[in-house]
Amino acid sequence: MSLTSLTAHELGELLNKREISSVELTKAYLRRIEEVDDQVRAFLTVTGDLALKQAAETDEKRARGEKLPPLAGIPMAMKDNMCTKGIKTTCASRILYNFIPPYDAAVTERLLAAGAVLLGKCNLDEFAMGSSTENSGFFATRNPHDLRAVPGGSSGGSAAAVAAGEAVFALGSDTGGSIRLPAAFCGVIGLKPTYGRVSRYGLVAYASSLDQIGPLTRDMRDCALVMNVIAGHDKRDSTSAPLEVPDYTRFLVDDVRGLKIGLPREYLGEGLDDEVRGWVKRAAETLEKLGAVCEEVSLPHTRYALPTYYIIAPAEASSNLARYDGVQYGLRVEAGDIVSMYSKTRSQGFGEEVKRRIMLGTYALSSGYYDAYYLKAMKVRTLVKRDFDLAFEKYDCLLTPTSPTPAFEAGEKTADPLTMYLSDVCTIPVNLAGIPALSIPFGLVGGRPVGVQLIGKAFDEGTLMRAGYALEQGTDLTRPRPVLERTVEE
C-alpha cells in the first residue's frame, strides 16, 4: 500500500519507528499532487518548498529525540479561506486574487505548532458560496471517484484532496453543509463542530453566525486527532466558547450499547434518492446490531430551514463582503472617481453567485423589508433549534442522510440555483441550530459514495465520534477507494 493512501495515525507510527522521514512522506505527497491534480484540480496554491522546509524541521526534532505531537510531520491542506501568513488567501475570488495575509488564522497557528506540514491551499466555491465547487473564480474541482461528477461544495477542494491522496487530512469550513456535503460526495469523514468550539479567528467570513471550521479525514481516529489540535477557546474570537476540550480519542470505543438514536422522518421522505434511503436504513440496522436503539422522531420545522437559511446567510454575507471595495484588499479597477472605482472593482471582482447572494441579502435587510424577511427568519431559526432541543431530551444523537442524492454530474445544476440549493437541505438545519454533525461514508450508488449524517447535542462531538467509530468498525463500507487512485497506482 502506498504512503498516500494511509491515515495520519498509521503514518505517525511509521514516523515514530523511523521507517520513513517526514521529508520522504512530503515528497511522496508532492509527487502525487503532480500526478493527479491536473485531473482533480483540488489545489489553488501548492507550497512545496515551504512544506519540505517544515518537514525537515520536524525530522530534525525527531532525530534529537524530542517528544512530538501525533500530527508532527503529517502533510495536510487547508481551504483557501483561512489566513496563512505570507501565503495567498484568495477565497477562490478574483477580488482577492493577490491577497497575502500578514497573520495566521488560529487553526493555522495550532496545526503548525503541532508540527503538521502545509502542502497548500485548496479550491472552494467563491467565498464558500456553493454546493459543487463550480463557483470558484478560477476553475472547477472534480470528484476523484468519478471525474464527471462534482466533489460537492464549498470545501470541495479540501475533500477531493484527501480522497485523491493529495493530502492526509484537510480543513474545511461549514456554513450550511460545506464540510459534510463534499465529505459525503468524496467518500471521506467530515465533521462540522459546535459553533464556538473551533476559533474562527482568521477565517474569512461568509455568514458569521453560521460559519465553523472542521476537519476532513480518512477515518474517525484522524478526525479525533485533528480536533484535539484545533478545538479550544481563543480570546481573539468573541464567539469562541471558554469550555474545556476533552481528548476526543477517548470516545473511539467499539461500543454503542444503550445509545439512543433518533431517525427524523422529515429527512427520509419526499425528494430522497431511494438507494440513499436504503443506505441510511442499513446504517441504522448496523448500529442496532452493535447495541444502539434506533427510533423514528419528528422535527416538524425542518421544512422551513432551507428558505430561512437563504435569508440569513445572504443577509450576513452582504454585510461581510462590503469591505471588498478596492481600497484595502486585493483587486482595484481604476476609474475617474471613487464611486465608479468601487462599482467597477466589485462588478469585475465578484462572480455571479456572490453577486446574487449580496443582492438577496441587501434586499432582506433593506428598510421596509427587514421585519418581513430577516426578523421572521430569525424567529423561524429559533423554532428549528427548539425541534433539536426537544429531540435531544430523548435521544443521544440523530441519524439522517448527508445529501438527498449522491454526487451529481458537473454542469448539471449550474443553470438552476434553486435546484443547487436543495443539495444542502439535510445539512442546513444543523448550522441554524449551531450544533455539531458528522458525515461518514456508507455505501455507494452508481460507484459514487453516499454519506450518512450523525447530529449531536451542542459541544457533544464525542458522542458523534463514538457512534461514527462504531459504524466504521462495524462494516467495510466506510473507506471507499477512489477510481482515480486505482487508475494511477495499478
The residue from 21, 22, 131, 154 that is catalytic is 154
- How far apart are alpha carbons 134 and 153 in whole angstroms? 8
Q: How far is CA 387 from the centre of its chain?
A: 24
Edge to edge, the sheet with strand 448-456 lists 43-46, 117-122, 75-79, 169-173, 213-217, 189-192, 437-445, 448-456, 397-401, 260-264, 293-297
Q: Calculate the alpha carbon distances from 339 to 48, 95, 96, 334, 490 in Å.
A: 41, 17, 19, 11, 58
178 is catalytic: yes
The residue from 21, 79, 93, 423 that is catalytic is 79
Q: Please name every residue paired with 76 in a beta bridge, in sequence order, or none if there are none.
A: 118, 169
- How far apart are alpha carbons 215 and 225 in whole angstroms? 10
Lookup result for grid cell 464527471:
148
Q: Where are the beta strands (DSSP E) in 323-432?
A: 397-401
- How far apart are alpha carbons 192 and 30 in whole angstroms? 28
Rg from Cα positions in the chain: 21
DSSP at 373: I
Q: Output the DSSP codes for 66-82.
A: ----TTTT-EEEEETTB
The residue from 22, 173, 178, 423 that is catalytic is 178
79 is catalytic: yes
403 is catalytic: no
Q: CB of 144 within 8 A of CB of 32?
A: no
- How far apart are alpha carbons 128 and 154 in whole angstroms? 5
Lookup result for grid cell 502545509:
118
Q: Where are the beta strands (DSSP E) in 66-131?
A: 75-79, 117-122
Q: Calculate the alpha carbon distances from 479 to 103, 215, 473 in Å.
A: 36, 16, 11
Backbone angles phi, psi at 264, to 5 degrees: -65, 120
Q: Which residues are catalytic?
A: 79, 154, 178
